[in-house]
A and B are shown apart, each in its own frame.
Chain A
Amino acid sequence: MTEAAFESARIDELQRAGRFWVPIRKRFGIGAFGVNAWVAQAEGDEIVSEHVEGSSGHQELYVVVAGHATFTVGGEEIDAPTGTLVFVRDPEAKRKAVAKEAGTTVLTVGAKPGEAFEVSSWEASAEMFPLYEAGDYESAAAILREALEHGEDYGLLYNLACVESLLGRRDDAVEHLRRSIELDPRSAEAAKSDPDLDAIRDDQRLASMLS
């Protein structure tokens, strides 16, 4: 939560994270619902990448606030010029949006009915990923550690173990991978062939975790 009683900003002036994503919830410190914008650089950009909300259980409302997009929800195409609202009630419905022109801007609001809003671990992973790809592992690790202060999550712990391995922080990487596997054994499967963990692959502790 920000200290200010109120704050305003223009979507096109906010800092982007990655190619299309404008983080809004995090920028304002919103605690009651998730909200982000996606801005196309060119025609054909998949600004909302195909996904489901099965693990978050979120209902999502998409608002086309500039330009023109084509949504695909549950296999059906939706022509969505500026001013279109697309509400996806079913978290399991596959959804994506492709821009028909540069500058197309889609605002997304999401939360789970019947539960107090919690920040999705998705948000930190998505913010971290471009830094990871650019080799800025220190910054990536800082984002993951900050997100983990709000609650444990096997995916965030796994990614943190990877960047710590790449940074040569063997003990931290082993510890975070161990905890990730405790929370969800899928992390052990992923770790077996993940080159990010090669730097710690000779560690005895890793071998016993993955056996």
Chain B
Amino acid sequence: MSSYNVVKLDELESIPVGDRGLQWRPIRLQLGIRAFGTNAYTADVGDEIVEEHTEATYGHEEMYVVVRGRATFTLDDEEIDAPAGTLVHVPDPSVQRTAVAQEPGTVVLAVGGKPGEAFQPSPWELGFRASKLEPAEAVAYVEAHMDEYPEMAATHYNLACFRALAGDKEGALQALERAAEMDADTVRNWAEGDSDLDSLKNDPRYRRAVGT
């Protein structure tokens, strides 16, 4: 492994996430960073450049850097105008956060980690990374990389969805059962109305796992 890597922000892979125009530009994953989480995001003017979320699941303290362009952040109910060069520090994981791009070419960099604990990569990376692949490829990707992340219900749940879409009903049920063992209530909420799992819904094992 080389002692260093160089990459330009504009050359990072661009992966669409969600339905509000967000483009995820993975940095940590691409560079193999193991000490903190970091990613860039881009979006067209008016589109979401930071997905609306809290950090309650991971307990991360976050810092956003507007590297280029301009964004409007909304933190809980407060709006912040953030031209290039602005730093936004959000130590409290419970704050609801989002941002919208205001100029063409806007780039926001995010850095995160949990104070007092060694960094572990967040399993949402797996789902984001696999989401633009064909179902069979997504299954292969998640299976190959899930050991690199702490085990969480969301990972098994995503795997269940990808396996169901790829036609692997038995594998999907196993993953769904594992997810439900870890966090039954959350899995029930996710599964309700999730068409990815339609092929499982008549199976008694599905109904037992999600408790419907």
Binding site for B on A (CB under 8 A): 1-2, 4-12, 24, 28-33, 35, 58-59, 61, 63, 65-66, 73-74, 78, 80-90, 92-93, 95, 105, 107, 109-117
Decide: A6 near B107, CB < 8 A? Known: A30-B63, A33-B36: no
26 contacts between A and B (CB under 8 A): A2-B89, A2-B91, A5-B92, A8-B88, A9-B86, A9-B87, A10-B85, A11-B86, A30-B89, A31-B115, A32-B61, A32-B115, A33-B119, A61-B38, A73-B3, A80-B6, A82-B68, A86-B5, A87-B32, A89-B2, A89-B31, A107-B65, A111-B35, A113-B35, A113-B119, A114-B119
Answer yes or no: B204 CB below 8 A from chain A CBs.
no
Closest-by-CB residue of A relative to B64 is A8
Q: Which residues of B contact A7 (CB under 8 A)?
A: 88-89
Picked from B4, B75, B116, the residue with its CB within 8 Å of the CB of A88 is B4
At the interface, yes or no: B1 with Cβ under 8 Å from chain A? yes
Please, which residues of chain A bring their CB within 8 A of the CB of B86?
8-11
**Which residues 47-103 of B have a CB within 8 angstroms of A?**
60-61, 63, 65, 67-68, 73, 75-76, 78, 80, 82-92, 94-95, 97
Instruction: Flag whether B112 is at the interface (Cβ < 8 A).
Output: yes
Determine how close the nearest CB of chain A comes to the CB of B81; give it in whole angstroms.
9
> Is there contact, CB below 8 Å, between B35 and A11?
no
A167 to chain B minimum Cβ distance, whole angstroms, is 35
> Chain B residues near A110 (CB, 8 Å)?
35
Residue interface bits B1-20, CB-to-A below 8 A is 1, else 0: 11111111110000000000
Q: Among B63, B86, B88, B116, which residue has the most Cβ atoms of chain A within 10 A?
A: B63
B34 at the interface (CB under 8 A from A): yes
Bound Cα distance from A187 to B14, whole angstroms: 51
Contacts A6-B95, A63-B109, A65-B65 known; A86 to B87 CB distance under 8 Å?
no
Smallest CB-CB separation from A78: which chain B residue? B6
A114 with B75: CB separation less than 8 A: no
CB distance from A112 to the nearest CB of B (A): 6
1/0 per position for B100-121, CB-CB distance to A under 8 A? 0000000101011111111100
Closest Cβ of chain A: how far from B129's Cβ, in Å? 18
Enumerate chain B residues within 8 angstroms of A92, measured Cβ to Cβ.
3
Q: Within the complex, which residue of B27, B34, B118 is in contact with A116, where a contact is CB–CB below 8 Å?
A: B118
B133 at the binding interface (Cβ < 8 Å): no
A12/B4 contact (C-beta < 8 A), A32-B60, A112-B35 known: no
Query: Residue among B3, B31, B115, B118 with the most chain A CB within 10 A?
Result: B3
Cβ–Cβ < 8 Å partners of A24 in chain B? 63, 87
Q: Chain B nearest CB: distance from A86 CB in Å?
A: 5
Chain A residues contacting B10 (CB-CB under 8 Å) are 83
Question: CB within 8 A of B90: which of A6, A10, A11, A59?
Answer: A6
Separation of A63 and B88 alpha carbons in the complex (Å): 16
- Does B136 have its Cβ within 8 Å of any Cβ on chain A? no
Known contacts A74-B4, A89-B5, A116-B117; A109 and B111 CB within 8 A of each other: yes
